[in-house]
């Protein structure tokens, strides 16, 4: 395609401006939107990482908690922000994959609205049961569920939550039928489980570890054992071959962010995630470092979308 001299000059100027901006980045504080309220696992992982990155970048990273709609509220804000590296998103599969499956009128397209920077952490759930539950292993659970289709129930924090997804995947891979019971929060689920309203639930690994004297832990939902529960088998290890309901937090920028800025952020995030002093307490909270390239993170988002669409597409 032939370009007029004026058009050619404009393209060069835009390219030069972007390069110059990347070289001086950052020249002001960075805003990091976390799609969940303060105090949860998303916030617990974002804050120490942001603090370490701010030191490396010689600027302030201001965390703004914007909970709501599984992280979609924060994602929408970042999707509309200027692609200059000063508004970033700390997100999970909820806003980037699950919402794309369950919501018909979502105001952004996760496949095109963001520039993935890197995965940060992976985490899993643990399948827990009442102490008097008849099954003590995944094999026994599957046999019991097949003998009593639909009669065993499990609690979660709603359709599309990590617990719901974990249960839906277990059913699709084993052919069993469980009854899903949604609750508003984790405390309500634990109360219902210990009170006899529920037989099963998928709890965070840290919750399961803290409550293990009061409940059975049958398996963790990651492909391999979780470091925070090293003596508990994974679903895959327990016989549901290939089962992997692991989830993640990652860093993204608006689409169109210069690659030089994205790569710099990627480098500093990876440095933070490989610091044992930073990671040791986070791993105890069930957060496992999972640094990646931007391309690997984009591939993970796409793969998870395809995976969960097959599992809950009709939910």
Q: Is residue 251 part of a domain?
A: yes
**CATH number assigned to the domain comprising residue 170:** 3.40.190.10
Assess if residue 235 is contained within a domain. Answer: no
On whether residue 61 sits in a domain, the answer given is yes
Q: Are residues 254 and 113 in the same domain?
A: yes
Put simply, whether the predicted model's pTM sits higher than 0.85 gets the answer: yes
Q: Are residues 116 and 154 in the same domain?
A: no
Q: Is 239 exposed, middle or buried (0-12, 13-18, 19+ CB in 10 A)?
A: middle
Same-domain check for residues 135 and 205:
yes
Residue 9 is predicted with a pLDDT of: 53
Same domain for 260 and 119 = yes
Residues 53 and 109 reside in one and the same domain: yes
Q: Which domain holds residue 65?
A: 25-123+247-312
Domain count, the chain: 2
One domain, residues 130 and 216: yes
Q: Which pLDDT score, from 0 to 100, does residue 263 have? A: 97
Indicate whether 117 and 131 sit together in one domain: no
Q: Is residue 226 part of a domain?
A: no
pLDDT in tens, the chain (315 residues): 455 555 455 444 444 445 556 788 999 999 999 999 898 899 999 999 999 999 999 999 999 999 888 899 999 999 999 999 999 999 999 999 999 999 988 999 998 999 999 999 999 999 999 999 999 999 999 999 999 999 999 999 999 999 999 999 999 999 999 999 999 888 899 999 999 999 999 999 999 999 999 999 999 999 999 999 999 999 999 999 999 999 999 999 999 999 999 999 999 999 999 999 999 999 999 999 999 999 999 999 999 999 999 999 866
What CATH number does residue 53 fall under?
3.40.190.150
Same domain, yes or no: 263 and 251: yes
Same domain, 112 and 259: yes
**Domain for residue 240, yes or no?**
no
Answer with the one of 174, 205, 220 that is the final residue of a domain.
220
pLDDT (0 to 100) of residue 23: 80
């Amino acid at each position: 395609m032939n370009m007029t001299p004026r058009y050619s000059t404009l393209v060069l100027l835009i390219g030069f401006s972007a390069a110059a901006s990347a070289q001086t980045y950052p020249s002001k504080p960075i805003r990091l939107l976390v799609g969940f309220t303060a105090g949860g696992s998303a916030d617990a992982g974002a804050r120490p990482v942001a603090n370490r990155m701010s030191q490396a970048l010689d600027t302030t990273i201001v965390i703004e908690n914007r909970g709501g709609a599984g992280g979609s509220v924060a994602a929408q804000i970042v999707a509309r922000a200027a692609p200059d590296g000063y508004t970033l998103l700390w997100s999970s599969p909820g806003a980037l994959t699950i919402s794309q499956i369950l919501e018909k009128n979502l105001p952004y397209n996760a496949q095109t609205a963001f520039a993935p920077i890197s995965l940060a952490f992976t985490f899993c759930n643990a399948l827990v049961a009442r102490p008097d539950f008849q099954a003590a292993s995944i094999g026994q659970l599957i046999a019991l569920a097949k003998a009593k289709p639909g009669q065993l129930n499990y609690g979660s924090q709603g359709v599309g939550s990590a617990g719901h997804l974990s249960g839906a995947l277990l059913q699709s891979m084993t052919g069993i039928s469980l009854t899903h019971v949604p609750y508003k929060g984790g405390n309500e689920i634990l109360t219902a489980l210990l009170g006899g309203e529920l037989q099963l639930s998928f709890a965070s690994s840290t919750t399961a570890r803290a409550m293990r004297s009061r409940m059975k832990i049958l398996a963790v939902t990651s492909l391999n054992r979780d470091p925070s529960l090293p003596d508990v088998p994974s679903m895959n290890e327990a016989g549901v071959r290939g089962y992997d309901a692991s989830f993640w937090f990652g860093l993204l920028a608006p689409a169109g962010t210069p690659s030089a800025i994205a790569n710099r952020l990627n480098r500093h995030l990876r440095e933070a995630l490989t610091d044992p002093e930073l990671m040791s307490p986070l791993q105890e909270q069930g957060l496992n470092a999972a640094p990646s390239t931007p391309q690997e993170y984009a591939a993970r988002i796409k793969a998870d979308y395809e995976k969960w669409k097959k599992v809950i597409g009709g939910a």
